[in-house]
Amino acid sequence: MKRIRDKFTRKRIIIIAIIHVVVIASIIRFFTYVNNYYEATDHAKNYIEHPAEGVTVRHDGRNIIYEPENPRAGFIFYPGALVQTEAYAPVLEKIAENGIEVIEIGMPHYIAIFKANGARGIIDDYPEIEDWYIGGHSLGGAMANMYAKVHVEDFKGIILMASFSINDFSDTDLKALSLRGSEDGVLKMDKYEENLKNLPKDYKEVVIQGGCHSYFGDYGIQDGDGNPTITCEEQTDIVVDEIVKFIE
């Protein structure tokens, strides 16, 4: 009987040890993954350090705020996964130059899924702004839409950059803008096409000829992306122009 108990105890110890090894390995793998993010270029960071006249850029400890002197609308932006927040500065600062307050939500480990409710409380902080839009890049766009689905009454429109919505907005009065690059190698086009039906019926789709997934920010070329035939600066200007026209 004692031998049976000893044998059972040894097996249990081995099983517990294996579980601990698997858990530790998973934790190590997770932190290796989340710490391997795409860094903003110096060019992108320059838009934060030296914004255009009339725009103030500040960090409140959580988010980056791009603030024009007299904002006529607000835009809450969720960045893409594993992309440093500052990488979106060229697009967002230029949007602010056009009188639109932009609040870029800082994400834990640069992954929006960890802070899908990041927009909570933002609108209340700016009572002087009546018209609000929400959106984001890639996974950030999907998470922003999840938030918008629960707070439809707070927004006039949603903006997707190389992203799609799994939430159904087809019966809402929201405006919707969907932007993607023709050379995007990251966006899953089957999922993108399948989920277009979730957008409001009068949504606007813009395909940026020669554009790619990575150039919605400024962090180099992402693994698996296509080969763009335009520059990052050219795509930035197109994105800014389309978003500003959409909000107007």
**Residue 177, pLDDT score:** 98
Say whether pTM exceeds 0.75: yes
Per-residue pLDDT of the chain (248 residues; tens, 9 = 90+): 555 555 555 554 344 434 332 222 232 233 333 457 999 999 999 999 999 999 999 999 899 999 999 999 999 999 999 999 999 999 999 999 999 999 999 999 999 999 999 999 999 999 999 999 999 999 999 999 999 999 999 999 999 999 999 999 999 999 999 999 999 999 999 999 999 999 999 999 999 999 999 999 999 999 999 999 999 999 999 999 999 999 98
Q: Are residues 134 and 73 in contact, defined by beta-carbon separation less than 8 angstroms?
A: no
